[in-house]
Amino acid sequence: MSMVNALTRVQTVIKLDRQTGASLAFLVGVITLMLLGAIRVIDWMSDEQQLPLSQLVMEGDQTHVTAAQVRKAVLSGGELKSFMLQDVNRIQANIEALPWVKQVAVRKQWPDTLKVHITEYRASAIWNGQKLLTPDGAVFNGAPQDVADKKLVSLHGNTGTSAEVLHTSRELERQLQRIGLSIQALSLNMRRSWRIVTRDGVRIELGRKARQERLARLVHLYPRIKAQNKAIAYVDLRYDTGAAVGWKTEADDANRQN
């Protein structure tokens, strides 16, 4: 009886070993098929001919940034990869390098589209004749000719003074409007001396000190200066009291017309 039980136990063990081997073989086969399938899917997704990026959609501001500029920026890194493998961060960096682009978001839309949302800079003034300023005085690389129709004030100063010069131009403009003048150009030189050129061509020298006091003096004196019925060339306020006034000549008028 005990011998029969022993044989039964042996047979049972042998039977279980066979089941385990078959299960292991089946599992290995399944994993192998999954791996092969994954490799084929990856190959398919990485094939530009299977999932090509073929459309570019622009959204947001498009006043100064053109579709042609964006397309060139998108393709500047070489041929696009497939939809699944394309690095949008690289494309975003290339578009951000465009002069008028303040912010950009790039995303992919299934199955073949790149969507680009652009926020442009807002120009508030011309800076040193070559660049532009935002409303808060930050310098950006927009070209002054792009905003020629807006007749923006032209500001000049050293590196790091753009916000100060812009703020001062607004402050001075409010005061000058009281006597019918408007700023065309404002400069702060290396000696921190202020100079205004009005839109009717009057040069106003404020100097380095007591800017507000000197401007108030101009507002007080200007009606008497205008009463002379002569074309004003400049008003120099770099004195403790009063002002020096220069008058335009016929030669000055002729040069201005030319």
In this prediction, residue 76 has a pLDDT band, given cuts at 50, 70 and 90, of: confident
Comparing C-alpha atoms, which of 225, 175, 182, 220 is closest to residue 201? 182
**Above 90 in pLDDT, residue 78?**
no
Cα–Cα distance measured from residue 130 to residue 140, given in angstroms and rounded to the nearest whole number: 10
Q: How confident is the model at residue 75 (pLDDT cuts 50, 70, 90)?
A: confident
Q: Which residues, in sequence order, are CB contacts of 195 under 8 Å at separation 6+? A: 186, 187, 189, 203, 204, 205, 206
Number of H helices, E strands in the chain: 6, 12
DSSP alpha helices (H): ranges in the chain? 2-45, 67-75, 88-96, 162-176, 211-226, 250-257
Average of per-residue pLDDT across 150-176: 97
pLDDT at 47 over 90: no
Fold of 55-120: Ubiquitin-like (UB roll) (3.10.20)
State mean pLDDT over 114-142.
Answer: 96
Q: Which of 88, 78, 79 is nearest to 109 (CA)?
A: 88
In the predicted model, is pLDDT for residue 6 greater than 50? no
Q: How far apart (Å, rounded) are the C-alpha atoms in residues 157 and 130? A: 12
Structure-token match 């899917």, residue found? 41
Domain boundaries, the chain: 55-120, 125-257
Domain range 125-257, CATH architecture:
3-Layer(aba) Sandwich (3.40)
User: In the predicted model, what is the mean pLDDT of residues 32-52?
Assistant: 59
Residue range 94-102: mean pLDDT, rounded: 95
| Cα distance between residue 123 and residue 171, in whole Å | 18
CA–chain centroid gap for 252, Å, is 41
Question: Residue 234 pLDDT > 70, yes or no?
Answer: yes
pLDDT tens digits for range 166-203: 999 999 999 999 999 999 999 999 999 999 999 999 99
pLDDT tens column, 238-257: 999 999 999 998 666 555 55
pTM (2 decimals)?
A: 0.75
The whole-chain average pLDDT of the chain stands at: 84
Residues 154 and 133: their CA atoms lie apart, in Å, by 10
* Residue 183 burial (CB count, 10 A): 21
Rounded CA separation 168/120 (Å): 25
What pLDDT, on the 0 to 100 scale, is given for residue 158?
A: 96
